[in-house]
Amino acid sequence: MMQPQQPYTGQIFQPTQAYTPTTPQPFYGNSFEDEPPLLEELGINFDHIWQKTLTVLHPLKVADGSIMNETDLAGPMVFCLAFGATLLLAGKIQFGYVYGISAIGCLGMFCLLNLMSMTGVSFGCVASVLGYCLLPMILLSSFAVIFSLQGMVGIILTAGIIGWCSFSASKIFISALAMEGQQLLVAYPCALLYGVFALISVF
Amino acid sequence: MHPAGLAVAGTPRQPSKRRTPVSQPGMADPHQLFDDTSSAQSRGYGAQQAPGGLGYPAPSASPQAAFLADPVSNMAMAYGSSLAAQGKELVDKNIDRFIPVTKLKYYFAVDTMYVGKKLGLLFFPYLHQDWEVQYQQDTPVAPRFDINAPDLYIPAMAFITYVLVAGLALGTQDRFSPDLLGLQASSALAWLTLEVLAILLSLYLVTVNTDLTTIDLVAFLGYKYVGMIGGVLMGLLFGKIGYYLVLGWCCVSIFVFMIRTLRLKILAEAAAEGVPVRGARNQLRMYLTMAVAAAQPLLMYWLTFHLVR
């Protein structure tokens, strides 16, 4: 059952790249120069990661629905680890809770979005979006390292950051799934999820 | 629910695309161990290829072969992916047997206007006149279009919010730890299940002919969590006085709401119009409706009083 072999031309969502094979040599051939870089082969595209991060960081910028077409879990993994690391700096060793809550939260959002939208979503897409929108929460937990969040300033800051995270997440979901009139309804469960993370950071 | 035990480490999943794997970098060795059967190289070096290409070690002059270029691994990959596709199909087909997904979708067809109006109705049901659900060719209209239709979005969100608010309340009293969230969630879920089963049992015993489905019942019983959240939040802000005031108001509202909604579902047609009908059966149904409605404030108090000090 031989599959037809085609030379890999090194294109990952960027149609303009083209590889020019070097002249074949007797022993090595063009195998070494021809192969794509490791990151491209792994599917980690820094440009897209950066674009998605910028979309999260500018809550008022209109999101493009097609950026969520490729499921990319490398960025969210980094953000989860960074969140756990900043919690560690504050003396709370709770990596397990972070992972557990993000898993349960992603599962819950996945079920809810599948029930609420006309088109379904894949689990990878949900996990990817929620992971990217965790970035402002990292800011919150790094503040918690320096001063305690249990005063009035802390509460206002926490509420603001939760609002920022859930607004970005709902904006991306709405544009990717074409759900009208439901942005607040999608934002609320995201706010609950990020509220749990905030609970861990604050208390 | 013990999040501590769920140390799920997701692995970065590559986008699944078919591609020809290429050789390992840095191992360009004239005495390579594998035959290179990839066509780009093999066409150039036809004479030098050992054609026995199962990928076993054979010294030859061709360049480093790709690991997955030989037929056995290709077959394994194809088999693996078809197995995964079959598994997914199986889950999709059978999930409808356990969880009626299409029926559930009806209860989540809501939009922001509906949720806003329904929350208003839950807190102030006294002025609403028409409680009948509209039908469209024998099926009830989606909640988006009729405020009287039950939905599951509000109860689900209210339940989760209740668990989080309980965590917050315990946190302000310095009694918080993340596994308490799991404990609160399980106990609230247990009470809800108990309530649903008790009401289903009594409906069965009274032999009521009603179109009240189980999911409808879960939806109606979930509406009290909204009042509970309001009470606990007021209790956090204003102490016991605020808690009792708001909880009292919400208890009365949910009592009226439940009576007016269930009356249309459980009681016979005549009685639903407001005309008191004598007869043992209707009396029994009236008592059942009142019992269900009265159980709501009791449970609301029971599940929240330990959170407010």
> How far, in Å, CA of A168 to CA of A18, rounded?
35
How close A150 gets to chain B, by Cα (Å)? 9
Residue B66: which residues within 8 A CB-CB, separation 6 or more? B20, B21, B22, B23, B36, B38
Q: How large is the C-alpha radius of gyration of chain B?
A: 31
| B40 contacts in chain A (CB < 8 Å) | 5, 7, 30, 34
Tell me, yes or no, if A115 comes closer than 8 A to chain B by beta carbon.
yes
| A45 contacts in chain B (CB < 8 Å) | none
HEC profile for chain B?
CCHHHCCCCCCCCCCCCCCCCCCCCCCCCCCCCCCCCCHHHHHHCHHHCCCCCCCCCCCCCCCCCCHHHCHHHHHHHHHHHHHHHHHHHHHHHHHHHHCCHHHHHHHCCCCHHHHHHHHHHHHCCCCCCCCCCCEECCEECCCCCCCCCCCCHHHHHHHHHHHHHHHHHHHHCCCCCHHHHHHHHHHHHHHHHHHHHHHHHHHHHCCCCCCCCHHHHHHHHHCHHHHHHHHHHHHHHHHHHHHHHHHHHHHHHHHHHHHHHHHHHHCCHHHHCCCCCCCHHHHHHHHHHHHHHHHHHHHHHHHHHHHCC
A129-185 per-position pLDDT tens digit? 898 888 888 888 888 888 877 788 888 999 999 998 998 888 888 888 878 888 899
Beta strands in A84-139 (DSSP E): none
Nearest CA in chain B to A76: B12
Query: Residue A107 has what pLDDT?
Result: 93
How close A2 gets to chain B, by Cα (Å)? 5
Q: A90: which DSSP letter?
A: T
| A196 contacts in chain B (CB < 8 Å) | 164, 181
| B164 contacts in chain A (CB < 8 Å) | 192, 195-196, 199
Query: Residue A69 has what pLDDT?
Result: 65
Phi and psi (nearest 5°) for B37? Answer: -105, 10
| Out of A4-13, A107-116, B217-226, least confident range | A4-13
**Between B22 and B207, residue with greater pLDDT:** B207
Nearest CA in chain A to B160: A192
What is the torsional sign of CA A146, A148, A149, A154? negative
Query: Which among B155, B142, B134, B156 has a CA at the least distance from the CA of B114?
Result: B142
Residue B254 has pLDDT above 90, yes or no: yes
Q: A67: which DSSP letter?
A: G
| B8 contacts in chain A (CB < 8 Å) | 99-100, 103
CB contact under 8 A, A34 and B161: no
| B109 contacts in chain A (CB < 8 Å) | 116
Query: Residue B157 has what pLDDT?
Result: 93
| Cβ pair A144, A198 in contact under 8 A | no
Q: What is the pTM of this model?
A: 0.70
A 132-171: CB under 8 A from B: none
Residue B230: which residues within 8 A CB-CB, separation 6 or more? B123, B246, B247, B250
CB contact under 8 A, B108 and A35: no
Query: Residue A159 has what pLDDT?
Result: 92
> How far, in Å, CA of B254 to CA of A97, rounded?
36
Query: Residue A70 has what pLDDT?
Result: 67
Query: Which among B124, B64, B75 has a CA at the least distance from the CA of B253?
Result: B124
Q: What's the average model confidence in pLDDT over B261-266?
A: 84
Domain ranges across chain B: 152-305
Q: Is A10 left (phi over 0), alpha (psi -120 to 50) or beta?
A: left
Q: What's the average model confidence in pLDDT over B41-47?
A: 46
A21-62 per-position pLDDT tens digit? 554 444 544 567 777 777 676 666 777 777 778 877 777 776
Residue B309 has pLDDT above 70, yes or no: yes
> How far, in Å, CA of A201 to CA of B8, rounded?
20
Chain B interface, best mutation among A23, A31, A129, A203, by max B CB count within 10 A: A31
B76-100 per-position pLDDT tens digit? 888 888 887 787 777 777 766 677 7
| Cβ pair B216, B100 in contact under 8 A | no
What is the torsional sign of CA B264, B268, B273, B279? negative
Tell me, yes or no, if A40 comes closer than 8 A to chain B by beta carbon.
no
> How far, in Å, CA of B63 to CA of B50, rounded?
12
Residue that the structure tokens 């709401």 belong to: B257
Q: What's the average model confidence in pLDDT over B146-169?
A: 89
Residue B266 — pLDDT band, cuts 50, 70, 90? Answer: confident
Q: What's the average model confidence in pLDDT over B255-282?
A: 74
Candidate from A71, A101, A104 with C-beta closest to B13: A71
| Cβ pair B231, B246 in contact under 8 A | yes
Residue A141, SS3 per DSSP: helix
Residue that the structure tokens 């320096």 belong to: A146
CB contact under 8 A, A77 and B7: no
Residue B253 has pLDDT above 90, yes or no: yes
A 82-111: CB under 8 A from B: 94-97, 99-101, 103-104, 108
Query: Residue B81 has what pLDDT?
Result: 81
Tell me, yes or no, if A27 comes closer than 8 A to chain B by beta carbon.
yes
| Cβ pair A84, A95 in contact under 8 A | yes
| B181 contacts in chain A (CB < 8 Å) | 196
> How far, in Å, CA of B302 to CA of B296, rounded?
10
Q: What's the average model confidence in pLDDT over A4-8?
A: 64
> How far, in Å, CA of B291 to CA of B289, rounded?
5
| Out of A14-18, A74-78, B21-25, B257-261, least confident range | B21-25
B28-43 per-position pLDDT tens digit? 556 667 776 765 544 4
CB contact under 8 A, A5 and B110: no
> How far, in Å, CA of B277 to CA of B268, rounded?
9
Size of interface A-B (CB pairs under 8 A): 154
Candidate from A77, A100, A124 with C-beta closest to B3: A100
| B73 contacts in chain A (CB < 8 Å) | none
> How far, in Å, CA of B87 to CA of A1, rounded?
23
| Out of A155-159, B165-169, B183-187, B209-213, least confident range | B209-213
> How far, in Å, CA of B77 to CA of B61, rounded?
28
CB contact under 8 A, A71 and B39: no
Q: What's the average model confidence in pLDDT over B106-128?
A: 90
| B22 contacts in chain A (CB < 8 Å) | 8, 31, 34-36, 41
| Cβ pair A9, A36 in contact under 8 A | no
Query: Residue B153 has what pLDDT?
Result: 92
